[in-house]
Chains A and B, each alone.
Chain A
Amino acid sequence: MRSSIRFLRKGKVAELADIAPTDTLLDYLRLTERSMGTKEGCAEGDCGACTIALGRLDRGGLRYQPVNSCIFLLGQVDGSEVVAVDDLAEAPDTLHPVQEAMVKHHGSQCGFCTPGFVMSLFSLYHADARPSRSDVNDWLAGNLCRCTGYRPIVDAALASCRTSPADRYAERKSETEAHLKSLLSDGDDVFIGNDDAFLAIPASVDGLDRLYAAHPEAILVAGATDVGLWITKQLRALPKIICLHRAGLDFIEATEDALIIGSAATYAAAQPHLAAIDPDLGEILRRLGSKQVRSTGTIGGNIANGSPIGDTPPVLIALGATVELRRAGITRQMPLEEFFLAYGKQDRAPGEFLTRIIVPRLARGQHLRCYKVSKRFDQDISALLGAFRFDIDEGRIMSARIAFGGMAATPKRAFKTESAIVGLPLADERQWRRAAGALAEDYRPISDHRASAAYRMATAQALLEKARREIAVQSSRHTRVVGQREVLVGRLV
Chain B
Amino acid sequence: MDASSKSRSRKVSATHRPAQGQPLPHDSAARHVSGTAVYVDDMLEPEGTVHLAPGYASSATLGPIRLLDLDAVRKAPQVIRVLTAADIPGLNDCSPSLRDDPILADGRIEFHGQVIFAVIAATRDAARRAARLARIEIDEQEPIVTIEDALKANSEILAPYQFIRGDVEAGLARSPRRLKGSVHMGGQEHFYLEGQVSLAVPRENGEVVVYCSTQHPTEIQHCVAKMLARPDAAVVCECRRMGGGFGGKESQAAQWAALAALAASLTGRPAKIRLDRDDDMIMTGKRHDFRIDYQAGFDAKGKLRAVDATLNGRCGYSADLSLGVNDRAMFHSDNCYFYPQTRIFSRRLKTNTASATAFRGFGGPQGMLFAEQMMDSIARTLRLDPLEVRKRNFYRTGHDTTPYGQKLKDNIIAPLVEELERTSGYRARRRKIAAFNDQNDVLKKGIALTPVKFGISFTLTQLNQAGALVHLFTDGSVQINHAGTEMGQGLYIKVAQVVADEFGIPVDRVRITATTTDKVPNTSATAASSGSDLNGMAAKAAAGVIKDRLVDFAARHFNVARSKIAFAGGIAKIGSKTMTLGELAARAHSARVQLSSTGFYATPEIFWDRAKASGSPFFYFAYGAACSEVTIDTLTGELRIDRVDILHDVGKSLNPAVDLGQIEGGFVQGMGWLTTEELVFDSKGKLLTHAPSTYKIPTASDVPADFRVRLWKSKGNRADTIYRSKAVGEPPLMLAISVFCAINDAIAALKPGVIPPLAAPATPEAIMRAVNAMRDM
Decide if B397 is an interface residue (CB 8 Å cutoff).
Answer: no
Give the distance to chain B from A399, nearest Cβ to Cβ, in Å: 24
Residue of B39, B277, B636, B668 with highest tally of chain A CB at under 10 A: B636
Partner of A102, one of B33, B191, B666, B769: B33
Chain B contact patch, size range = 35 or more
Residues 46 to 93 of chain A near chain B (Cβ within 8 Å): 46-47, 49, 84-86, 88-89, 92
Residue of A nearest to B630 (CB): A481
Partner of A113, one of B193, B487, B698: B193
Residue of A nearest to B28 (CB): A111
Contact partners of B676 in chain A: CB under 8 A: 375-376
Complex CA gap A52/B243 in Å reads 19
Complex CA gap A79/B430 in Å reads 58
Are A481 and B701 touching (Cβ within 8 A)? no
A130-149 interface code vs B (CB 8 A; 1 in, 0 out):
00011011101101111111
Contact partners of B638 in chain A: CB under 8 A: 373, 377, 480-482
Complex CA gap A374/B637 in Å reads 10
Known: A235-B128, A466-B442, A469-B442. A141 touches B33 (CB 8 A): no
Decide if B511 is an interface residue (CB 8 Å cutoff).
Answer: no
Decide if A106 is an interface residue (CB 8 Å cutoff).
Answer: yes
Contact partners of B9 in chain A: CB under 8 A: none
Complex CA gap A114/B244 in Å reads 12
Known: A108-B26, A146-B192, A375-B763. A95 touches B693 (CB 8 A): no
Complex CA gap A37/B32 in Å reads 9
Decide if A378 is an interface residue (CB 8 Å cutoff).
Answer: yes
Residue of B39, B443, B692 with highest tally of chain A CB at under 10 A: B692
Residues 265 to 312 of chain B near chain A (Cβ within 8 Å): 276-278
Are A102 and B29 touching (Cβ within 8 A)? yes
Complex CA gap A374/B633 in Å reads 13
Q: Which of B607-615, B621-629, B702-710 contacts A (4 or more CB under 8 A)?
A: B702-710
Decide if A451 is an interface residue (CB 8 Å cutoff).
Answer: yes
Are A109 and B661 touching (Cβ within 8 A)? yes
Give the distance to chain A from B568, nearest Cβ to Cβ, in Å: 27
Complex CA gap A92/B23 in Å reads 23
Partner of B34, one of A37, A113, A145: A37
Contact partners of A149 in chain B: CB under 8 A: 661, 664-669, 698, 703
Contact partners of B635 in chain A: CB under 8 A: 459, 462-463, 465-466, 479
Give the distance to chain A from B214, nearest Cβ to Cβ, in Å: 13
Give the distance to chain B from A129, nearest Cβ to Cβ, in Å: 16
Are A146 and B193 touching (Cβ within 8 A)? yes
Are A462 and B31 touching (Cβ within 8 A)? no
Are B35 and A36 touching (Cβ within 8 A)? yes
Are B37 and A449 touching (Cβ within 8 A)? no
Residue of A nearest to B669 (CB): A146
Decide if A154 is an interface residue (CB 8 Å cutoff).
Answer: yes
Contact partners of A111 in chain B: CB under 8 A: 26, 28-29, 31-32, 37, 241, 243, 488
Decide if A103 is an interface residue (CB 8 Å cutoff).
Answer: yes
Residue of B nearest to A46 (CB): B692
Decide if A295 is an interface residue (CB 8 Å cutoff).
Answer: no
Contact partners of B190 in chain A: CB under 8 A: 146
Give the distance to chain B from A478, nearest Cβ to Cβ, in Å: 6
Are B33 and A108 touching (Cβ within 8 A)? yes
Are A151 and B707 touching (Cβ within 8 A)? yes
Are A383 and B764 touching (Cβ within 8 A)? yes
Are B768 and A455 touching (Cβ within 8 A)? yes
B16-42 interface code vs A (CB 8 A; 1 in, 0 out):
000000010110111111111111011
Decide if A43 is an interface residue (CB 8 Å cutoff).
Answer: yes
Partner of B691, one of A37, A44, A95, A154: A44
Are A49 and B193 touching (Cβ within 8 A)? yes
Are B701 and A138 touching (Cβ within 8 A)? yes
Decide if B115 is an interface residue (CB 8 Å cutoff).
Answer: no
Complex CA gap A380/B698 in Å reads 11
Are B193 and A112 touching (Cβ within 8 A)? yes
CB-defined A-B contacts under 8 Å, sample of 15: A44-B277, A89-B34, A95-B30, A102-B29, A106-B26, A110-B194, A111-B28, A115-B32, A373-B636, A375-B678, A455-B637, A466-B636, A478-B440, A480-B443, A481-B443
Write the residues of chain B forming the contact surface with A, with a CB cutoff of 8 angstroms.
23, 25-26, 28-39, 41-42, 44, 128-129, 132, 190-195, 241-246, 276-278, 440, 442-443, 487-490, 631-633, 635-640, 657-658, 660-661, 664-669, 676, 678, 680, 688-689, 691-694, 696-703, 705, 707, 763-765, 768-769, 772
